[in-house]
A = this chain, B = another copy of it.
Amino acid sequence: NTWVPNIEPGSDFSIYNLPFGIVSTKSDPAPHVAAAIGSHILDLKVFFTHPEGPYHRPFPSFHEFDGFEALLLDVFSQPTLNAFAALGRAVRSKVRNTLQQLLVAQTPYPSVLRDNMPLRAAALLEDSEVTAMHLPMTIGDYTDFYAGYYHAHAVGTLFRGPDAALQPNYLHMPIGYHGRSSSIVVSDTPIRRPVGQVAHVGEDGKQIVSTGPTRKLDIELELGCFIASENRMGDSVDVDSAAKYVFGYVLLNDWSARDVQAWEYVPLGPFNGKNFATTISPWVVLAEAMEPYRTVPGHELDRKSLQPYLCEANTENVLDINLRVYLQTTAGVTTPITRTNSRYLIWSFPQMIAHHTLGGCPLRTGDLLGSGTISGPDGSYESGSLLEVTENGKKPLKLVQTGTRTFLEDGDTVIIRGFAGADWSRVGFGPCRGKIIGPSLKK
């Protein structure tokens, strides 16, 4: 369904996807915008600035808006997607649709790209031409929610027993906290094992406090949602308008030091247990590409008990994205550890946005929302964290071939994958990957 060569079945980047990201290439190391298609990228900076490109030659579709290409020309030379996101959904959809029309096998505009060899050679690059992927957005604020019902339930059961598993507020609002934006990194950035302050109870029953590398380094499988549009401070966003604020999605690994978190989090929430690193996948899958994959939540809220500001008219309000987590050891052996789906989120991103802005908190272009850890009902293979599957380290997880894990060891690589749709029409993310390196031990 596209003339771009070498798309494999099961590629995350079918023509139905066309995610946007920030690349450096061999010919242009300055970070700029590209779209992914199969094993290629379409370098959008080159595409719009090339002398043989549509900006310099008549091309009806791009000439419908006054000043449209001039806008895009600048937007795609930027080192982040913020300017593109801020153009609004109508313009973004128009750009994506037009690019799809250029890339489809029977393109109505063959002369623009497919048969335009100088432009095609310059702008349609093998992914081996990409020398680096960068953080796709400048992230002002990062908020991490806790909307994974089975995760909240499993962790609550672990620490407080099955009768008090969910806190009294859990089913009334999307619980969330403010995260740290400065330590959000793109896939393949090495993750240093953090040093932290921890406490344990000694043999005499007394509390012993110490400082050292975390012994409970964990993952959190999450979906990330980038904000495109801004609300004015003091104004809330209506839940049924909130989808318009979404730019797109990424996979997110909210690395967590469980021993640090356990000691620090009362009463103000997680801090150093979380703020050392958060990894996201590099390609932003636009909201439009995920539209066909909306579904009802795997565990539905009782709508009658919801506050009106959280009652969404659309009941298919979460996404049907297959999620996988793999652990790869230094020996190169890979163990699948999680197989779940984002429909197990009990709160939708529109509900999170409506709640976040209820008191007038302003969202800005580039803000990132984490969904909270996503787990399915079967804790043995659907857990989005090692905390759950190993019951806080009590039940080691068997790896393929040899070895076990309670929490992560130095040298381990964690890979999250996610995709919706069938083999030839997948809408996926590419890997969200990070390798653990040893702690920094000073003096």
Spell out A's residues near B (CB within 8 Å): 140-141, 146, 167-169, 172-173, 175-183, 185, 192, 194-197, 199, 207, 209-211, 214, 233-236, 238, 257, 260, 263-272, 275-277, 307-309, 355-356, 358-364, 367, 440, 442
Q: A211–B238 Cα gap in the complex (Å)?
A: 14
Shortest Cβ-Cβ A-B pairs, 8 listed: A269-B269, A194-B359, A177-B268, A276-B359, A178-B178, A192-B234, A275-B361, A268-B269
- Cβ-defined contact, B355 with A175, below 8 A: no
Minimum Cβ distance to chain B for residue A410 (Å):
13
- Residue pair A180, B361 in contact (C-beta under 8 Å): yes
Kindly state the separation between the CA atoms of A88 and B308 in the bound complex, as whole angstroms: 51
In the complex with contacts A168-B199, A211-B307, A182-B141 CB distance below 8 A = yes
Q: Which of B233, B236, B257 contacts A359 (CB 8 A)?
A: B257
Expressed in whole angstroms, the minimum distance between the Cβ of A414 and any Cβ of chain B is 17
Task: Tell me, in angstroms, the Cα distance from A362 to B183 when the chains sit together.
Answer: 6
Pick the contact of A268 from B146, B196, B264, B358 — CB < 8 Å? B146
Q: How far is the CB of A156 from chain B (nearest CB, A)?
A: 9
Chain B residues within an 8 Å CB radius of A238: 442
Copies of chain A in the complex: 2
CB < 8 Å neighbour of A364 from B182, B192, B260, B308: B182
Interface pair A177/B233, CB less than 8 Å apart: no
How far is B277's CA from A276's CA once the two chains are assembled, in angstroms?
Answer: 26
Residues of B within 8 A of A266 (CB): 167, 169
Partner of A173, one of B141, B175, B182, B197: B197
* A211 contacts B308, C-beta separation under 8 Å: yes
Distance (Å) between the CB of A24 and the closest chain B CB?
A: 19
Listed residue (A178, A183, A209) with the most chain B CB atoms within 10 angstroms of its CB: A178
Complex contacts, A181 vs chain B, CB 8 Å: 140-141, 181
Report how far A194 CA is from B233 CA in the complex, Å: 11
Q: Which residues of chain B have C-beta atoms less than 8 A from A440's C-beta?
A: 234-236, 360
The distance from the CB of A357 to the nearest CB of chain B, in whole angstroms, is 9
Given A209-B172, A440-B235: A182 in contact with B362 (beta carbons within 8 A) = yes
* Contact, CB under 8 Å: A177 / B175: no
> Given the complex of chains A and B, what is the CA–CA distance between A356 and B238 in angstroms?
36
Once the chains bind, are B197 and A271 in contact (CB under 8 Å)?
A: no
> How far apart are A255's CB and chain B's nearest CB, in angstroms?
10
